[in-house]
Amino acid sequence: MRLRGLALTAAVLLAFGGNRVVHAEEKSSLGPSILKVPMLERHAEQGILTPVPLDLELPDDLPARRVLVHYRIHGSKEWRTLELLRYGKRWVGAIPCLEVSTITGDVSYYVRIHDAAGSVIAYSGSRHSPYRVTIKHDTELARSASAPARCPDPADCPPGLLGCPSATVERIPCRSDSDCEGGTSCGWDGFCELDERSHHWLALDLEAGLGVVSGTGACSVPSQENEGYACYRESDGATYTGRPVYTNEPLAVGTTPVRIVLGYEHLLNENTLLGARFGYAFSGAGPKPRGGVDFVPFSGELRATHVFGTDPFASTGLRPFALAAAGYAQHDIQVTVHARHDLGYAVDQGGNDWDQDLETWRRAGDAYVGVGGGLWWLTSQGFGVAGELRAVQAFPYGAFVMTCDAGIRVGF
């Protein structure tokens, strides 16, 4: 086909000097339409330092909002994108002559047509089967008087002016990954991007904590039988079954079991992770309470994490975060409770001192909810270390627990 001024007629376009309109196939519900194009338009030739003009007329029933041309200069690995401008029924633009430059070889390109929402509704050509313009030196071409002029001063022909190169598109709109090309995916902000973030994270943590329990009446028989307490005399280790006088004992603070925790979290958007954690307590379990059951070392948790900052997983560095969690775990809290024995109690346990300290365990749980925060140090986009502090309320056997976790994070 003869091209005016050796310029390329774009894949979905009217030929320069012709009147043929390219028609689209009936749109399939399975994806975008493929625009029918005569095979003779697959290849053209032109000289160096001249723009590659693009001129398109689409069918009236195609709801096009943007027409993007993806192109690659010979010798380059990078595909770039430009947007055609609309003038009535026509969409026009040009691959800039300054990019064509003096490099000989093929300029490859294909066309994708987007609707108002950013989805691709039609296309012509592809990255694997593009249209090509072979750039040659003038000595290899029969230059005519109508051939396009060499590269103008960019100040004389700014992008966007009819007949001048189109403005390069840095961000391509999308609604799904299928609307993006070249290894890019549809980002959370609705534009195609090269996503190098890790969306899946594994965690390996060591967890320890402190629990706060009430000491008032903790070692009475009802408390030991119904509220998860277990009290032992320090003198001989026997279970305390005496009747203490109720006194205003202060709150007691003790240690909780030490756990190893394995977790998984999925990056839902730029800042939010949802995940689950499973733990095993290998140290700090208390004895079996009176009328109770053995300590269950396993724990499970669901959590949501918000990492602060602008796109925090796109680069390395320190990242503060906040979290909310709920799960199952038994927290055995070891404290010392002071008991004053009631000498007037008719049925007495022998060997009790009038004043004595009792080794006391409180089995708090089995369920809990918690909130907390911490720091995540991303040393790379696929590896980091993290530490967190959580405030946990256990129920129905109530206790307030502060846990501290520290460990590694591996992303993929």
pLDDT over 80 at 171, yes or no: no
Please name each of the domains of the chain with its CATH number: 4-193 (2.60.40.10), 200-411 (2.40.160.20)
Please give the mean pLDDT across all residues of the chain.
80
Query: Which pLDDT score is estimated for 36?
Result: 46
Taking only the tens place, the pLDDT of each residue in 22-63 is 433 434 333 455 454 433 355 667 767 777 888 888 888 888
Looking at 13-17, 123-127, 243-247, which range is the least confident one?
13-17
More confident residue, 283 or 185: 283
Query: Which pLDDT score is estimated for 10?
Result: 37
This prediction's pTM? 0.64
Where does the pLDDT of residue 201 fall: very low under 50, low under 70, confident under 90, or very high at 90 and above?
very high
Distance in angstroms (rounded) separating the CA atoms of residues 48 and 89: 30
Distance in angstroms (rounded) separating the CA atoms of residues 198 and 283: 33
Where does the pLDDT of residue 73 fall: very low under 50, low under 70, confident under 90, or very high at 90 and above?
confident
pLDDT over 50 at 351, yes or no: yes
